[in-house]
Chains A and B, each alone.
Chain A
Amino acid sequence: MQYETVIGLEVHVQLHTRSKMFCGCPADYQAAEPNTRTCPVCLGLPGALPVINRRAVEYTVLTGLALNCRIPEFTKFDRKNYPYPDLMKGYQISQYDLPLALDGFLEIDGDTQLGLGRRRIGVERVHLEEDVAKLQHFPGEGYSLVDVNRSGVPLMEVVSKPDMRSAEEARQYLTLLHSIVQYLGVSTGNMQDGNFRCDANVSIRPVGSQILGTRTEVKNMNSFRAVYQALEYEVVRQREVIEDGGAVVQETRGWIEEREVTVSQRSKEYAHDYRYFPEPDLPPLRIGPERVAELAAELPEFAPQRSARFQADLALSGYDADLLAGSRSMANYFETTLTLAATAKEVANWMLGDLARLLNQDHREIDASPVTPQRLADLLALVADGTLSTSLAKTVLEEMYATGGEPADIVREQGLGQISDTGAIEAAVAEAIAANPKAVADYISGKDTAARFLMGQVMRLTKGQAQPELALRLVQEGLELQKTRGSLEP
């Protein structure tokens, strides 16, 4: 029996707003001491009332537009009621039947191993809600702690249609969605930090069947790799259950990273009736077509299109183009540097090579680079006009990165300009020849490589500043002279 996999993904994206969804507390809770980013509203104290964060609504609409959704003119918030210690008010303000965005899609390449090509994965809806507090458990100790910092942080939920047919397709969808929210700047999209959370609904059915099989919900996948592995595992597990004559139980299963299995999380609680009703403390929102058009105009060119353009217009390799287009800040940096009169290939090499190395060492994003596009362009100009050799330029780059200085200043201060004055190099050539008689003898007896060795000595003597081609030529001339002299000696 051949089975078809059916996967739907629910992704919760924490929005990168300055303040929380319904109050003015700072939304950056990650590095803060527990319970220091709180106020009566996000604590859910008696008498507190929510007020909508406008930016969070705009970010959600932008995301909806980027996902080709329809933005209805009328939208509202609803109360989702259930008791839990991390839910301060005993209800979560979310959206039920009139979300901010509906009926969109994402195009993925498709799982070619299944013979599936490029096609659309449906996006059911995108809605806005508030995050809950964080619980810390101490098994066996008899207590748990609540950190309310995260309570009220804006959370955008993207629900796909069950259109994915394999873990690979889920991976493609997730990667693309991740790239989009990063590109929009609505989220940092960091799975490890909990900014980008994925839950999956998985079921299988006989190929050709139109009826959906019983699905399980898979949670606790904390990386893209975990999502892929968990889905692969769950599909196999479900198939084995059915082939053993059993039936898949509708339940929530958690992915256990260490054991690489999913485990049933049936809890003692009942399935909740959330008793949704419209949030009476918040007026509904009317988002007119003009406003939607304004926001649509803010949409950037996304990674796939940008990469394609880099390849087509700038003749970059697919690999390089994808890397440069990978994040909005990278792509912007790249394009800005290009406008400052540098060539694409040069800039790409430096950005993906030495500059990337320096940034990675510090775990810095390119936005925080002390080497600005202007400075990089200036450095490349110095290489292009012969002032610096490539290897010297690398040294200068490191200095620029460390001090935030201008390349021209560094070259001048450290006397790093390439020596192209013939006289100066000839002195070094003479010194090198005098100090290395064996090399000279090797050259005379036919070993041309000895010239390279002597050139290396000249470079050392001039602290790397001799213009390499000139140094080699002068060494060769000097050696020829030695040859001539030698043959002239009695």
Chain B
Amino acid sequence: MGSSTENSAFFPTRNPWDTGRVPGGSSGGSAAAVSAGAAPFALGTDTGGSIRQPASFCGVTGLKPTYGRVSRYGLVAYASSLDQVGPIARDAADCALILQSIAGHDSRDATSLPDAVPDYSAALTGDISGLRLGVPSEYFAEGMDAGVRAAVTAAIDQLAALGAEIREVSLPTTQYALACYYIIAPSECSANLARYDGVKYGYSHQGDGDMWEAMERTRQHGFGPEVKRRIMLGAFALSSGYYDAYYHKAQQVRTLIRQDFAHVFEEVDALAAPVSPVVAFPIGERTDDPVRMYLVDVYTLPVNMAGLPAMSVPCGFSNGLPVGLQLIGPHLSEDRLLNIAHTYQQATEWHRERPGI
């Protein structure tokens, strides 16, 4: 879990562009592998940005599908109402191929969408003329890395040159998404991780003490600090006396976030924004400050709250580190997003850059 892949049972993964820096997270391993050329593509899971953000930090292309587009059966559950599996690859065309393979209804996943899967590769026409592209002002706030701002702005200009009509839009609930996510995700997580007690499978603490002590020791030693943090947060947010003020409230705010996006998508066909306000940071820089760590996901979280599809597309560098452009679309618009990314990648070379590793 987490935004840097420093919380690992093995060891932190390193960013191929600068091995002293994080690859992003939580699917940092997948993004680093593709970036370093160790794999032609990889799957990641995105609950709050965990495909898009590491793709952005590692200079590769990633896609988080609409919630329910890809089956979650077989995916170790973290936050059930947010998790989605998606591809990380060198470009949009590859992502289209992989998504084609994994998308579709699964009768074993009751949240899986029944909608037919379009031909994603056929949707890559290379033509975005007339596309109404929204730029949400809240995503370009203070505190953003100047280099990130520059690269993303340049990418939007490039899309305009390719025929897109750029409009300024507003998503006022953006500021609430972080708090909303960090109540809902840990709550669902606290229940999803309850099964790991050493009784049936997995790490099981052996030693003196009764069954309850063994279960406690198993979880004490078996879970890392970030996971434990989230379980505790979640159990608290759901507890009697706090449920209404936290979990229930967060779910209501979530509806507002969804409505915000729905409203905006009446005016535009897609949104362009940064993936993260920062580029890859040094290993260990944010591990002592969980909240500062959580802040790298402020632009990706709202998308999961609303269940929307989104992509991260390499669009430049800041101080030698990759920057990702985020494309967000209405429900089930993966074909449209892939085409926008593909069209951009026909006209630019950022996605072809390789780390020196």
- Quick check: is B8 within 8 A (CB to CB) of the other chain? no
Looking at B115-123, B156-164, B188-196, B281-289, the stretch in contact with chain A turns out to be: B188-196
Nearest chain B residue, comparing its CB with the CB of A281: B80
B165-206 interface bits toward A, Cβ cutoff 8 Å, 1 = contact, 0 = none: 000000000000000000000011011011101011100000
Contacts of B243 in A (CB 8 A): 275-277
- Quick check: is B227 within 8 A (CB to CB) of the other chain? no
- Quick check: is B211 within 8 A (CB to CB) of the other chain? yes
* With contact pairs A88-B200, A275-B238 given, residues A47 and B75 touching in the complex (Cβ less than 8 Å): yes
Contacts of A197 in B (CB 8 A): none
* With contact pairs A273-B240, A275-B235, A277-B243 given, residues A83 and B194 touching in the complex (Cβ less than 8 Å): yes
- Quick check: is A81 within 8 A (CB to CB) of the other chain? yes
Question: In the bound complex, what is the Cα–Cα distance between A411 and B195 (angstroms)?
Answer: 66
Question: In the bound complex, what is the Cα–Cα distance between A41 and B109 (angstroms)?
Answer: 11
Question: In the bound complex, what is the Cα–Cα distance between A90 and B109 (angstroms)?
Answer: 20
Q: Does A282 lie within 8 Å of B110, measured CB to CB?
A: yes
Most buried by B among A51, A81, A85, A90: A90
Q: Does B194 lie within 8 Å of A90, measured CB to CB?
A: yes
Question: In the bound complex, what is the Cα–Cα distance between A282 and B109 (angstroms)?
Answer: 9
- Quick check: is A165 within 8 A (CB to CB) of the other chain? no
Q: From the candidates A41, A43, A273, name the one contacting B239 in the complex (CB within 8 A).
A: A273
Q: Does B200 lie within 8 Å of A43, measured CB to CB?
A: yes
Q: Does A50 lie within 8 Å of B194, measured CB to CB?
A: no
Contacts of B199 in A (CB 8 A): 85, 146
Q: Does A280 lie within 8 Å of B188, measured CB to CB?
A: yes
Q: Does B200 lie within 8 Å of A275, measured CB to CB?
A: no
Minimum CB–CB distance for A83 against chain B, Å = 7
Q: Does A275 lie within 8 Å of B201, measured CB to CB?
A: no
Give chain B's interface residue range (CB within 8 Å of chain A): 20 to 34
Question: In the bound complex, what is the Cα–Cα distance between A275 and B186 (angstroms)?
Answer: 13
Nearest chain B residue, comparing its CB with the CB of A279: B80
- Quick check: is A52 within 8 A (CB to CB) of the other chain? yes
- Quick check: is A49 within 8 A (CB to CB) of the other chain? yes
- Quick check: is A127 within 8 A (CB to CB) of the other chain? no
A21-59 interface bits toward B, Cβ cutoff 8 Å, 1 = contact, 0 = none: 000000000000000000001011111111110000000
Q: Does A47 lie within 8 Å of B108, measured CB to CB?
A: no
Report A272-306 residues with CB < 8 Å from chain B CB.
Answer: 273, 275-277, 280-283
Question: In the bound complex, what is the Cα–Cα distance between A45 and B76 (angstroms)?
Answer: 9
- Quick check: is A91 within 8 A (CB to CB) of the other chain? yes
Question: In the bound complex, what is the Cα–Cα distance between A43 and B238 (angstroms)?
Answer: 25
Contacts of B72 in A (CB 8 A): 49
Q: Does A47 lie within 8 Å of B74, measured CB to CB?
A: yes
Q: Does A89 lie within 8 Å of B76, measured CB to CB?
A: no
Question: In the bound complex, what is the Cα–Cα distance between A281 and B193 (angstroms)?
Answer: 14
Q: From the candidates A45, A50, A91, name the one contacting B191 in the complex (CB within 8 A).
A: A91
* With contact pairs A50-B110, A51-B110 given, residues A277 and B73 touching in the complex (Cβ less than 8 Å): no
Question: In the bound complex, what is the Cα–Cα distance between A276 and B187 (angstroms)?
Answer: 11
Q: From the candidates B77, B79, B80, B187, name the one contacting A46 in the complex (CB within 8 A).
A: B77
Question: In the bound complex, what is the Cα–Cα distance between A244 and B161 (angstroms)?
Answer: 91
Q: From the candidates B76, B190, B235, B247, name the one contacting A47 in the complex (CB within 8 A).
A: B76
Contacts of A146 in B (CB 8 A): 199
- Quick check: is B333 within 8 A (CB to CB) of the other chain? no
Q: Does B239 lie within 8 Å of A51, measured CB to CB?
A: no
Q: Does B200 lie within 8 Å of A90, measured CB to CB?
A: no
- Quick check: is B111 within 8 A (CB to CB) of the other chain? yes
Nearest chain A residue, comparing its CB with the CB of B68: A283
Q: Does B80 lie within 8 Å of A51, measured CB to CB?
A: no
* With contact pairs A88-B195, A90-B194, A275-B239 given, residues A83 and B110 touching in the complex (Cβ less than 8 Å): no
Q: Does B111 lie within 8 Å of A283, measured CB to CB?
A: yes
Minimum CB–CB distance for B179 against chain A, Å = 17
Q: Does A90 lie within 8 Å of B73, measured CB to CB?
A: no
Q: Does A52 lie within 8 Å of B215, measured CB to CB?
A: no
Report B198-221 residues with CB < 8 Å from chain A CB.
Answer: 199-201, 211, 215
Q: Does B187 lie within 8 Å of A47, measured CB to CB?
A: no
Contacts of A277 in B (CB 8 A): 187-188, 191, 238, 243, 247
- Quick check: is A79 within 8 A (CB to CB) of the other chain? yes
Report B102-135 residues with CB < 8 Å from chain A CB.
Answer: 107-111
Q: From the candidates A52, A81, A85, A281, name the one contacting B211 in the complex (CB within 8 A).
A: A85
Nearest chain B residue, comparing its CB with the CB of A24: B108
- Quick check: is B318 within 8 A (CB to CB) of the other chain? no
B68-99 interface bits toward A, Cβ cutoff 8 Å, 1 = contact, 0 = none: 00001111110111000000000000000000
Contacts of B107 in A (CB 8 A): 51
Contacts of B74 in A (CB 8 A): 47
Q: Does B215 lie within 8 Å of A83, measured CB to CB?
A: yes
Contacts of B247 in A (CB 8 A): 277
Contacts of A44 in B (CB 8 A): 195, 200
Minimum CB–CB distance for A375 against chain B, Å = 45
Question: In the bound complex, what is the Cα–Cα distance between A3 and B163 (angstroms)?
Answer: 85
Q: From the candidates A47, A81, A85, A281, name the one contacting B110 in the complex (CB within 8 A).
A: A281
* With contact pairs A277-B191, A277-B243, A280-B188 given, residues A45 and B201 touching in the complex (Cβ less than 8 Å): yes
Q: Does B195 lie within 8 Å of A49, measured CB to CB?
A: no
* With contact pairs A281-B110, A281-B111 given, residues A47 and B77 touching in the complex (Cβ less than 8 Å): yes
Contacts of B77 in A (CB 8 A): 46-47, 49, 281
Q: Does A283 lie within 8 Å of B110, measured CB to CB?
A: yes
Contacts of B240 in A (CB 8 A): 273, 275
Report A61-111 residues with CB < 8 Å from chain B CB.
Answer: 79, 81, 83, 85, 88-91
Most buried by A among B195, B215, B239: B195
Report A379-404 residues with CB < 8 Å from chain B CB.
Answer: none
Most buried by B among A43, A81, A277, A281: A277
Question: In the bound complex, what is the Cα–Cα distance between A44 and B194 (angstroms)?
Answer: 10
Nearest chain A residue, comparing its CB with the CB of B187: A277
Contacts of A43 in B (CB 8 A): 200
Contacts of B193 in A (CB 8 A): 90
Question: In the bound complex, what is the Cα–Cα distance between A8 and B343 (angstroms)?
Answer: 68
Minimum CB–CB distance for B33 against chain A, Å = 22
Nearest chain B residue, comparing its CB with the CB of A45: B201
Minimum CB–CB distance for A389 against chain B, Å = 62
Contacts of A85 in B (CB 8 A): 199, 211
Q: Does B73 lie within 8 Å of A48, measured CB to CB?
A: yes
- Having A47-B77, A83-B194, one finds 15 other A-B pairs with CB under 8 Å, namely A49-B73, A49-B77, A49-B109, A50-B110, A51-B108, A51-B110, A81-B190, A85-B199, A88-B195, A275-B190, A276-B238, A277-B247, A280-B79, A280-B111, A280-B188
List 8 A-B residue pairs with CB atoms under 8 Å apart, sorted by A's residue number.
Answer: A47-B76, A88-B195, A89-B194, A273-B239, A275-B191, A276-B238, A281-B77, A283-B110
Residues of A within 8 A of B (CB): 41, 43-52, 79, 81, 83, 85, 88-91, 146, 273, 275-277, 280-283
Residues of B within 8 A of A (CB): 72-77, 79-81, 107-111, 187-188, 190-191, 193-195, 197, 199-201, 211, 215, 235, 238-240, 243, 247
